[in-house]
Chains A and B, each alone.
Chain A
Amino acid sequence: MTRLPSGGRIDRSAPLKFTFDGREYIGFRGDTLASALLANGVHQVATSIKYGRPRGIMAAGAEDPNALVQLETPFPEPMLSATTVELFDGLVARGLPGQGRLADEPDPARYDAKHVHCDVLVVGAGPAGLSAARDAAREGLRVVLVDDQPEPGGSSLNRAWVARVVGELRSLPEVLVLERTTAFGAYDDGFVLALQKRTDHLGVTDPNVARQRVWRIRAKETVLATGAHERPIVFRDNDRPGIMLAGAARTYLHRHGVLAGSRAVVFTTNDSAYQAAFDLADAGAAIALIVDARPSVPVDLAVAAAEREIEVRAGSVVVGTEGESRISAALVETLGSNDGSRVECDLLLVSGGWNPVVHLFSQARGKLRYAPELGAYVPDGELPTVRVAGAAAGDVPESMALWLVPGGESDSDTRFVDLQRDATVSDVLRAAGAGLRSLEHIKRYTTIGTAHDQGKTSGILAAGITADALGVDLAAQRPTTFRPPYTPVSFAALAGRNRGELHDPVRVTAIHPWHVAHGAEFENVGQWKRPWYYPQPGESMHDAVQRECRAARNGVAMMDGSTLGKIDVQGPDAGAFLDMLYTNMMSNLKPGRIRYGVMCGVDGMVIDDGTVIRVAEDRFVTTTTTGNAAKILEWMEEWLQTEWPHLNVFATSVTEHWATIPLVGPHSRHVLAAVAPGLDVSNDAFGFMTWQDAEVAGIRARVCRISFSGELAYEINVPSWYGLPLWEALISAGADYGITPYGTETMHVLRAEKGYPIIGQETDATVTPQDLGMSWAVSKKKPDFLGKRSFARAENNRPDRKQLVGLLPQDPSVLLPEGAQIIESDHLPEPPVRMLGHVTSSYASAALARTFALALVRSGRERIGETLHVPVGDDVVPVTVTDSVLFDKEGTRRDG
């Protein structure tokens, strides 16, 4: 019987059924899976990752290196520590040999995040943390207290005091006490992340309650009262189930009413383990022997042990153990002799001293120093806004520093330093023997400290053993850096609500419902959903795009161009401003007219293009590439604020204010005339690159005569609210002409046939307007504009720059892959192969009745007429270099 009839913080009136490794057991509310297993006499939880050795429960908290489990209900979750899983009714789990399996089903649980700001954040609700929180709260400060346990109090046995302080804290409106909440990362400027497990202990998944919550805490001051972890000692066969940290056995006794064994040996280097021995003895366990590595034992402890008739052997060590799935005996020797004796036991309690939990302090860039009297790293000085209190500050029992019991060498070393990684003393010595000195290197060589527990118990042991092996002072060695997270955090918790459709904002146009209703396939363009093509029943993408292209070239077609970036540029200096931004002149544009423009960076490389319409003397509306709208607005603001604050100009995004519908094709004039009876649509009255305000389908509209296809085309802009009615009016007015909606794919084909580049597809920040064949859009008159000076750089005038050209595969049915490389020879030579450029766009053209491509090719314009080659898989495809304009080079179609 390992569960005591009374005592502990468990609720014996609430029995919980659970299953571990296929066997059913009973525990109680308040148990962890580890304590419930111990209560049922189960010590072995898993086998080790490399050697398959039985492993058990070594600690009672997050520092445990061994007891990894996989939960199967309510949702499969691997790599949990049995010591931190709260028991619930119906829990099903199994032990893991160091590796888990991710669920192959979607996680139904909700995760979320909350922001909180406070004066004082206290991490840890043990006595030190509770005191700090109470003191701050009494000053009227806003306090957040987080603690990873189900209830505050830490290791305190004075529950009345704990209840009083917690009651006081909870009564204050400015105090937030969070249980089951682990502060896992400390960052700059008082920023701390903490993970709250809100429903894990209930064992149910309620999709309306966040299972776990990431608290994003910004604190003016942080108090770290994170306590200390007990340190193991390395000796031969130190990994058997039943070998446990002394303080952990005490925790299981006092918190869970569990006696972890019936006959225990205690092996210690300090005073603290005596209390564990006495508490277990008082609870009914036999303490076979206390083995104290120190040469002498403090008198008061010797007396207390004698009162309980517990034998104490000073100057002695445990050199090894026996047992299979659980320890059966400890082998004890006097230090420096071979007087081995065998002591039977089912529990070996170990205490090598205490390590202050300095993880968060170190993460917050606090410096650590080695304290030889403790055998541990402690905070070295303070941080401006981070204070450390209690055991975490170094207020822990002094201890003899004993990392490794001498002796025990063998070919198959079983002196484990990192139990989870199955890394032994030999591994550390091998690393040191290989010439590694830095602890960071030894860590990487041996993998010690890289498991789920991040070396909470093994780190200092590896450091100490390394220092001894190298004959250096541990104080002179730099400890490995502590990095977040302190304990594992699931990606689901970090993602929170930002998944599925909330992963990224989805932007849709005013006409979107029509596209959905008419079966459009969509393409993501930035955050926008754009119709890609509109397949009719049974139609392939190729067929649909060919049909849409034919409609635009031969009849009339329309698309939703609302996503086009639009920036309203106003002010008396707007013209002068745009003259500096665009390569061509904008200030001499007359109201009512439109000009195409190119923008470059100061390096002369194209960053965007679009049209500029002049609305009035002091007002322009510019358009940008859909994906560049935000970037170009920032670009304008940057120059206005940083270089030209004297210019009186305001730039405002109006992208979402307008719905934009290009109406394209020879019959577009008839369709527009039908819906805009008041508008003279004749070429004389409404010429190319002009705009007019007019009533279209009864809606106030701005109609621009621009074309991205080479066809007669009108771009009709209306306030977004009227986008859908306008679209429907055009569909119905164009029915007699077979009006055809088209998507981005057809738009791309049509513009590529005309050699119009797409910024970001034909260009990649190394392409000038001249490379694109757009010298006509670069002003010679303006004294300066962004990029102008760079055009005169020698690099930008090299004759072998890559230039935009067309490519016609000699087999008109071969479609080149975009991104394919272009070479000179008709076979693939031995590497290195000289690349002449690459294919930027490639389509099947209905108008040309063949495939074609655009490409950037070295000295491309000089090569027009040449045959080059494109390796595609195992083939080398011959292509003819052409002008980039492949359709209607004379521009005969734009006026209808």
Chain B
Amino acid sequence: MQLIPCPWCGPREEAEFHYGGQAHVAYPEDPSALSDEDWAKFVFFRENPSGPFAERWTHSAGCRRWFNAVRDTRTHDLLDVYRIDEPRPVIG
């Protein structure tokens, strides 16, 4: 059982969290202005890198706050966590 360092509560067990997929995928400013293809990219397409990945988590059995984390998908190590309104930190 991995510990996830909630930026608000500190390290808590992963079972308290829900996963929220790739971070920094903003809801488009004006969806009606997008082509079908660009809209489909927003709705359906996500990165799947081998290595550091910025993703969203919510501490649903704790403070219920959403936050972002950078996780190495090869090791599951959480390299950093940051608030939802902060830019992706530079790792390493």
A191 x B1 contact (CB < 8 A): yes
Complex CA–CA separation, A642 to B76 (angstroms): 23
Tell whether A794 pairs with B36 under 8 Å between CB atoms, given A188-B1, A191-B1. yes
Q: Which residues of A contact B42 (CB under 8 A)?
A: 602
The answer, yes or no, to whether B50 is at the interface (CB within 8 Å) is no
Tell whether A638 pairs with B43 under 8 Å between CB atoms, given A188-B2, A793-B36. no
User: Chain B residue with minimal CB distance to A365?
Assistant: B75
B43 x A634 contact (CB < 8 A): no
Tell whether A638 pairs with B20 under 8 Å between CB atoms, given A789-B39, A790-B43. yes
A784 x B32 contact (CB < 8 A): yes
Q: Which residues of B contact A793 (CB under 8 A)?
A: 36, 39-40
B43 x A189 contact (CB < 8 A): no
B58 x A788 contact (CB < 8 A): no
Complex CA–CA separation, A740 to B3 (angstroms): 53
Complex CA–CA separation, A602 to B64 (angstroms): 22
Q: Which residues of A contact B40 (CB under 8 A)?
A: 793
Q: Which residues of B contact A218 (CB under 8 A)?
A: 3
B66 x A638 contact (CB < 8 A): yes
The answer, yes or no, to whether A337 is at the interface (CB within 8 Å) is no
The answer, among B1, B26, B31, B44, for a CB contact under 8 Å with A788, is: B31
| B77 nearest CB across to chain A (Å) | 9
The answer, among A641, A789, A792, for a CB contact under 8 Å with B84, is: A641
A643 x B39 contact (CB < 8 A): no
Complex CA–CA separation, A856 to B30 (angstroms): 33
The answer, yes or no, to whether A783 is at the interface (CB within 8 Å) is yes
| B5 nearest CB across to chain A (Å) | 10
The answer, yes or no, to whether B47 is at the interface (CB within 8 Å) is no
Q: Which residues of B contact A188 (CB under 8 A)?
A: 1-3, 76
| A643 nearest CB across to chain B (Å) | 5
The answer, yes or no, to whether B46 is at the interface (CB within 8 Å) is no
| B30 nearest CB across to chain A (Å) | 8
Interface residue ranges of A634-653 to B (CB < 8 Å): 634, 637-638, 641-643, 645
Complex CA–CA separation, A712 to B69 (angstroms): 52
| A710 nearest CB across to chain B (Å) | 36
The answer, yes or no, to whether A75 is at the interface (CB within 8 Å) is no
Complex CA–CA separation, A645 to B36 (angstroms): 27
B60 x A643 contact (CB < 8 A): no
Tell whether A602 pairs with B43 under 8 Å between CB atoms, given A641-B65, A642-B56, A783-B32. yes
Complex CA–CA separation, A60 to B17 (angstroms): 43
Contact flags A775-798 to B (C-beta < 8 A → 1, else 0) = 000000001100011101110000
The answer, yes or no, to whether B85 is at the interface (CB within 8 Å) is yes
User: Chain B residue with minimal CB distance to A784?
Assistant: B31
User: Chain B residue with minimal CB distance to A193?
Assistant: B1
Q: Which residues of A contact B28 (CB under 8 A)?
A: 789
A189 x B31 contact (CB < 8 A): no
A789 x B66 contact (CB < 8 A): no
Number of A interface residues at 8 Å Cβ cutoff, please give it.
Answer: 22
Complex CA–CA separation, A645 to B27 (angstroms): 13
B66 x A641 contact (CB < 8 A): yes
| A823 nearest CB across to chain B (Å) | 31
User: Chain B residue with minimal CB distance to A793?
Assistant: B36
Q: Which residues of A contact B9 (CB under 8 A)?
A: none
Q: Which residues of A contact B20 (CB under 8 A)?
A: 638, 642
Complex CA–CA separation, A602 to B31 (angstroms): 10
| B13 nearest CB across to chain A (Å) | 8
| A192 nearest CB across to chain B (Å) | 10
Complex CA–CA separation, A862 to B56 (angstroms): 43
The answer, yes or no, to whether A187 is at the interface (CB within 8 Å) is yes
Q: Which residues of B contact A634 (CB under 8 A)?
A: 18, 58, 60
Interface residue ranges of B3-60 to A (CB < 8 Å): 3, 11, 18, 20, 26-28, 30-32, 34, 36, 39-40, 42-44, 56, 58, 60
Q: Which residues of B contact A788 (CB under 8 A)?
A: 31-32
Complex CA–CA separation, A638 to B18 (angstroms): 11
Interface residue ranges of A715-736 to B (CB < 8 Å): none
A642 x B1 contact (CB < 8 A): no
Q: Which residues of B contact A603 (CB under 8 A)?
A: 43-44
Complex CA–CA separation, A16 to B80 (angstroms): 59
A642 x B84 contact (CB < 8 A): yes
The answer, among A191, A643, A789, A794, for a CB contact under 8 Å with B31, is: A789
Q: Which residues of A contact B27 (CB under 8 A)?
A: 602, 643
B34 x A187 contact (CB < 8 A): no
Q: Which residues of A contact B66 (CB under 8 A)?
A: 637-638, 641-642
| A612 nearest CB across to chain B (Å) | 22
Interface residue ranges of B58-92 to A (CB < 8 Å): 58, 60, 64-66, 76, 84-85
| A156 nearest CB across to chain B (Å) | 34
Complex CA–CA separation, A643 to B56 (angstroms): 12
Q: Which residues of A contact B56 (CB under 8 A)?
A: 642
A637 x B1 contact (CB < 8 A): no
B64 x A790 contact (CB < 8 A): no
B34 x A789 contact (CB < 8 A): yes
User: Chain B residue with minimal CB distance to A580?
Assistant: B27
Complex CA–CA separation, A641 to B40 (angstroms): 23
B3 x A643 contact (CB < 8 A): no
Complex CA–CA separation, A784 to B60 (angstroms): 28
Q: Which residues of B contact A790 (CB under 8 A)?
A: 39, 43
Complex CA–CA separation, A641 to B67 (angstroms): 9
Complex CA–CA separation, A693 to B66 (angstroms): 37
| B29 nearest CB across to chain A (Å) | 10
Q: Which residues of B contact A637 (CB under 8 A)?
A: 58, 64, 66
Complex CA–CA separation, A603 to B39 (angstroms): 10
Interface residue ranges of A788-839 to B (CB < 8 Å): 788-790, 792-794
| A795 nearest CB across to chain B (Å) | 9
| B59 nearest CB across to chain A (Å) | 11
User: Chain A residue with minimal CB distance to B26?
Assistant: A643
Q: Which residues of A contact B84 (CB under 8 A)?
A: 641-642, 645
Tell whether A789 pairs with B76 under 8 Å between CB atoms, given A638-B66, A641-B84. no
Interface residue ranges of A154-204 to B (CB < 8 Å): 187-189, 191
| B68 nearest CB across to chain A (Å) | 9
Tell whether A187 pairs with B1 under 8 Å between CB atoms, given A634-B18, A793-B39. yes
Interface residue ranges of A598-621 to B (CB < 8 Å): 602-603
Complex CA–CA separation, A634 to B61 (angstroms): 11
Q: Which residues of B contact A784 (CB under 8 A)?
A: 30-32
Q: Which residues of B contact A794 (CB under 8 A)?
A: 36
Complex CA–CA separation, A641 to B64 (angstroms): 10
Complex CA–CA separation, A189 to B14 (angstroms): 11
| A301 nearest CB across to chain B (Å) | 47
User: Chain B residue with minimal CB distance to A788?
Assistant: B31
| A414 nearest CB across to chain B (Å) | 45
Q: Which residues of A contact B43 (CB under 8 A)?
A: 602-603, 790
User: Chain A residue with minimal CB distance to B28?
Assistant: A789
Complex CA–CA separation, A645 to B43 (angstroms): 21
A789 x B26 contact (CB < 8 A): no
User: Chain B residue with minimal CB distance to A633?
Assistant: B64
Q: Which residues of A contact B85 (CB under 8 A)?
A: 645
Complex CA–CA separation, A790 to B11 (angstroms): 39
User: Chain A residue with minimal CB distance to B56?
Assistant: A642
Complex CA–CA separation, A784 to B31 (angstroms): 8
The answer, among A189, A643, A783, for a CB contact under 8 Å with B2, is: A189
| A101 nearest CB across to chain B (Å) | 33
Complex CA–CA separation, A189 to B5 (angstroms): 11
Contact flags A352-388 to B (C-beta < 8 A → 1, else 0) = 0000000000000000000000000000000000000
Of the A-B pairs whose beta carbons lie under 8 Å apart in the complex, a sample of 21, sorted by A's number, is A187-B2, A188-B1, A188-B2, A189-B1, A189-B11, A191-B2, A634-B18, A637-B66, A638-B20, A638-B58, A641-B65, A641-B66, A642-B20, A643-B27, A783-B32, A784-B30, A784-B31, A784-B32, A789-B32, A789-B34, A792-B36
**Given A784-B32, A790-B39; 20 other pairs, CB 8 A cutoff:** A187-B2, A188-B1, A188-B2, A189-B2, A191-B2, A603-B43, A641-B65, A641-B84, A642-B20, A642-B84, A643-B26, A645-B85, A783-B32, A789-B28, A789-B31, A789-B32, A792-B36, A793-B36, A793-B39, A793-B40
Q: What 6 A-B pairs are tightest by C-beta distance, nearest first?
A: A789-B31, A188-B2, A189-B3, A641-B66, A643-B27, A191-B1
